[in-house]
Amino acid sequence: MKDKRLLFAFPHPDDESFGPGGTIAKYAREGADVHYVCATRGEVGTVDPEMLKPYEHLPADQRLGALRGQELRNAADILGLTGLHYLGYRDSGMPGTEPNRDPRAFINADPDRVTGQLVKIFRSVQPQVVVTFDPFGGYGHPDHIFIHQRATEAFHAAGDPARYPEAGAPYQPQKLYWAVFPKSLIKFFVLLLRVTRRDATKFGRNGDIDLKEIAAHDYPSTTHVNIRPYYAIKQEASSCHTSQLSGGPARFGKIQKWFMMTEHFRLVEPNAGGQRLNERDLFQGVTG
């Protein structure tokens, strides 16, 4: 076990690379143990049927998950992840869609059971720092919101010997962060869409992303990680998630690229007063 240990808890293969991929690559290369807890295999979504050909021996509803699991395996190797831990649920899809009702969907899981699974992993890999989504899940995906709730609960339960005694010896992580992004950029983008007469409430590949709603959930960051030296690694890891990239890897202009050289986090534990901080390192103040 390394001296520095960091754990990210998100629900889908790609959340790790498209989100804080640069931060994962940075700490892995600086010699920390970096773990990824992924609640599902991202079984919901449209994909080019050609890509599922190698998985035709599997039942139809497992093929996309198998493909995305392989994509995550490849991304994990590039990022330098120490451990990849699946919770074993199914992608719940966007609100109001049919996969929401699947009893295997992550959002239909027993909350205490999910918390117990997380507590067991926290106690086993002993991360000083835990990162999950904000209470709106970045853009409102029900799985993102659910992992936020469960990881928050597990953060507090892991150090309590009275809770989940069967999940191993108590271990209390020191810091809890939300992965966030500056909403000022989104607000600017909403304005830009309005000028070009496009609907900011029905954005994205499937028209299911409401940029106005996203901009309204503003969680200011406390911690800014410079990922410039790791940006190429993040791009390489992101490009492993081929099934989720329409028309090849995204290309960014110079200004966008400049914004992407920093990844943003909000410290919530310990930060009772919601103080404005200006951290540059997720391990700042971590002891032992």
Binding site for Zn ion (CB under 5 A): 12, 15
Residue 262 pairs with which residues in a beta bridge?
A: 226
Q: Smaller CB distance to Zn ion: residue 40 or 152?
A: 40
Q: Smaller CB distance to Zn ion: residue 15 or 71?
A: 15
SS3 at position 177: strand
Instruction: For 100-112, give the secondary structure using H, E and C.
Output: HHCCCEHHHCCHH
Q: Smaller CB distance to Zn ion: residue 109 or 157?
A: 109
111/4 Cα distance (integer angstroms) = 29
Residue 6 pairs with which residues in a beta bridge?
A: 34, 129
Closest approach of Cβ 132 to Zn ion, in Å? 12
Q: Smaller CB distance to Zn ion: residue 15 or 134?
A: 15
Closest approach of Cβ 80 to Zn ion, in Å? 21
Q: Smaller CB distance to Zn ion: residue 35 or 144?
A: 144
Q: Smaller CB distance to Zn ion: residue 15 or 153?
A: 15
47/50 Cα distance (integer angstroms) = 8
* Phi, psi (rounded to 5 degrees) for 10: -135, 170
Closest approach of Cβ 96 to Zn ion, in Å? 17
Residue 84 pairs with which residues in a beta bridge?
A: 36
Among residues 273, 276, 269, the alpha carbon closest in space to that of 220 is found at: 276
Give residues with Cβ within 8 angstroms of 261, minimum separation 6.
226, 227, 228, 231
11/19 Cα distance (integer angstroms) = 12
Closest approach of Cβ 78 to Zn ion, in Å? 19
Closest approach of Cβ 10 to Zn ion, in Å? 6
Residue nearest to Zn ion (CB): 12
Closest approach of Cβ 165 to Zn ion, in Å? 32
